[in-house]
A and B are shown apart, each in its own frame.
Chain A
Amino acid sequence: MEILSILIPVSLGLGAAGLVAFIWALRSRQFEDPKGDAERILSDKWDDRPRPD
């Protein structure tokens, strides 16, 4: 049962990492235009050279 003292913090830590990632994504406005982002990846506009910015 000693393994629990490692596993529980590990599972909580992983969950917290996911939560932090979610909050970061939310803060950086990645949920503003889900449909547009899904379509943008299909655009071949910047296939030949990187976008200058």
Chain B
Amino acid sequence: MADLTASGFSACPACDAAPLAQRLADRADHADGTLILSLPSAHCATCITDVETALVAHPGVRSARVNLTLRRVTVDAPGLSADDLIPVLAGVGYEAHELDPDALSATTADRQGRDLLMRIGVSGFAMMNIMILSVAVWSGAEAATRDLFHWISGAIALPTVFFAGQPFFRSAWSALRVGRLGMDVPISLALVLASAISVYETMNSGHHAYFDGVTMLCFFLLIGRYLDHRTRAIARSAAAELTALEVPRATLLIDGAEQVVPIASLRLGDLIRIRPGARVPADGEIVEGRSEIDRALLTGETLPVLAVPGQMLSAGEVNLTGPLTLRVTAAGRDSSLARLTALVEAAESARGRYTSLAERVAKAYSPSVHVMALTSFAGWMWATGDLRLAVNIAAAVLIVTCPCALGLAVPAVATAASGRLFRRGLLIKDGTALERLAEVDTVVFDKTGTLTMGRPVLVSADPLTPVLRPVARALAEASAHPLSRALAEALADQPVADLTDVTEHPGFGVSARWQGRMVRLGRADWLGVGEDDGTLPTSATWLAVEGQAPVRLDFTDELRPGAADCVAMLRKARLRVVLISGDRQAAVADLAARLGIGDFHAGVDPRGKEAMVADLAVRGARVLMVGDGLNDTAALARAHASISPASALDAARVASDMVLTGNDLAPVADAVETARRATRRIRENFAISIAYNIVAVPLAVAGMVTPLIAALAMSLSSITVTLNALRLRDRKE
């Protein structure tokens, strides 16, 4: 985990995800009993009590503590796994997801944060104490008193600058070493030069010492730095949270004996066993067994596909009903998963070139500050020949132009905006995601699993006569097939009929005997009613009672909550909405009509999706991609900004900038709106700080800036900028 958190975001998230998941798989064997679960819906005191009480009451749990700020619960339960506890929380009404404790203890990020807070505390203390002394100097302390106050201020300020200024000195040094001028070079220069000239002035009983300004500079800049760090740490832990809980293991068959091995160790020609409900770990050919295959995450198809010996399967598909034996035909680099990873890699590098507003401002800012300070130094030197005066003025220019407000302008807004989005159920994983999201003018949705839940629901139980309903329920309960489960759920209020000889025929359906007659529930071709009509938008299963005509049961994919609102809001905000899916034309058209999306494309493969997104970008559109499947991964990485739901496949979540924490899709529309407002605030903040500079710099160059004016300009601009950023927080619409 360490290398992912340390290097931030890599060019190829999917490449990281695989070994990461691998490590998770290894770790699971020697877990120390501490589990961390995320609780996206926790928000109040009652939630804390409910969750903690429910968990502690569960046998085996030693203690549980909710962290409401991070919406997590830490559980000390040796011997239990997250799978034991998630149902407990679901029982008291809380959605929970497993998180990786190793990744989240995030010791380095944690220590950095506390380190920054400590420096803020020290510089705050120094600033206030020096300010008390400075007030006396400003209001006219003379001679020996002024010198005494300056000495005391210096005694406090110098160690403070040495301690609190370290983050700036360090990053300025590393910037200089590679020959660049970052924001931190002028900051460090200002700190050092102003401290030095103040010491010199104090020794010579001068009138002006900038000890107050120097500590204040540290204080405000550190606050900006801390906010920035916190937003990033949250983003990083969000990314870590979301990586890979799909443990990459396969059941290898060696001479008929089963052995669980990591996927990475699979070789061509290995035989692997895939249980019903398991994900296919590698590409291969079926050698034994019959089943049905759910391809939704790979292609977006909602209809399960029949799987028979001789058929090829791709990694990522889900085996539904019967056990299968697979001969591996491609593993590692050659597998379809790895090919998709390569697509993502190519797409990512296209997006990596984005420069944020802050970077653009910094690029213009730091050379101009140096030029200004140097010019005023040279100018005064030439005009008066007084070195002491010239250095004093150069120091004043550096202090006044120092980017307190600039350093706060972006972090304050980013913190306010991401906090707001987090409360609405959206995690931001990438630093520039908000800005990119604000520029979006086209939204591309995936269908299965994004606009829909990817879970079938029975359209209506009407085709079934009341007599048949208990039979249907009993048959449906005999299978784990998604359509059976949906049917059983829909008929949950019915009594269960007495059946005998219940047998599941993998890949076909379930048969049983009821009142001496044969009853079957399953695929159309198995029941002899011909192929399913592929032009209908629904999936279907059939119920046949011996001697009666088979009954067709229609299932539709349930809309994700908030999907309709989300699409409506996006259209209201005059964004173009496009639906691209790998599913059948009929199903996609039906959904598009229900949501009022005119622009839709069906039957598109992963490469096609990426190409369509790229094509939109070429034609000048800024695309927000919302998708969840492996087939969306490349498109997610290619798009200008991307969002995936929490239920998405790990690779998709890694490839996207933002992740929805709940089931609801509505935060997507809200996010676009918030991002636009945030970017507007950032621009306003830059304007404010530039306005302050426009007033203060000529005064400084003219030699009229006293430490009092410098302190006023610095604190006023910082406070205005922060207040402006805070306007983003939960304004009532």
Contacts and interface: CB of A to CB of B under 8 A. Distances in A.
Interface string B35-52: 000000000111011000
Given A1-B145, A15-B125, A26-B118, A36 B49 contact: no
A40 to B, nearest CB: 6
A43 B48 CA distance: 9
Interface in A36-50: 36, 39-40, 42-43, 45
Interface in B40-71: 44-46, 48-49, 53, 66-70
B70 A26 contact: no
Interface string A1-26: 10010001001100110110011001
Nearest to B144: A1
Given A36-B68, A39-B68, A15 B129 contact: yes
A23 B48 contact: no
A11 B49 contact: no
Interface string B425-461: 0000000000000000000000000000000000000
Interface in B114-158: 114, 117-118, 121-122, 125, 128-129, 132-133, 145, 148, 152, 156
Given A19-B125, A42-B45, A45-B49, A33 B117 contact: no
Given A15-B129, A36-B69, A22 B48 contact: no
Contacts of B145: 1, 4
A33 B68 contact: yes
B129 A12 contact: yes
A51 to B, nearest CB: 12
Nearest to B128: A15
A11 B130 CA distance: 11
Given A22-B121, A39-B48, A8 B152 contact: yes
Contact of A32 (B49, B67, B129, B152): B67
Interface residues of chain A: helix, strand, loop or mixed (majority): helix
Q: Contact size class for A?
A: 20 to 34
A23 B122 CA distance: 9
Contact of B67 (A19, A36, A42, A45): A36
A25 to B, nearest CB: 9
Nearest to B52: A45
Q: Contact size class for B?
A: 20 to 34
A52 interface: no
Contacts of A36: 48, 66-69
Interface residues of chain B: helix, strand, loop or mixed (majority): helix
B231 to A, nearest CB: 16
B44 A39 contact: yes
A4 B132 CA distance: 12
Given A12-B129, A23-B118, A26-B114, A32 B48 contact: no
A12 B46 CA distance: 44
Contacts of B44: 39
Contacts of A26: 114, 117-118, 121
Nearest to A14: B129
A36 to B, nearest CB: 3
B69 A32 contact: yes
Contacts of B133: 8
Nearest to A19: B125
A12 B149 CA distance: 13
Contacts of B129: 11-12, 15
A18 B125 contact: yes
Contacts of B117: 26, 31
Given A15-B125, A18-B125, A23-B121, A43 B67 contact: no
A23 B350 CA distance: 45
Interface string B186-213: 0000000000000000000000000000
B120 to A, nearest CB: 9
Nearest 3 pairs of A and B residues by beta carbon: A36-B68, A39-B45, A19-B125
Given A35-B68, A45-B49, 11 more contacts: A4-B148, A22-B121, A23-B118, A23-B121, A26-B118, A31-B117, A33-B69, A33-B70, A40-B48, A43-B48, A45-B53
23 contacts: A4-B148, A11-B129, A12-B129, A12-B156, A15-B128, A15-B129, A16-B125, A18-B125, A19-B122, A19-B125, A26-B114, A26-B117, A32-B67, A33-B70, A34-B69, A36-B48, A36-B66, A36-B69, A39-B44, A43-B45, A43-B46, A45-B49, A45-B53
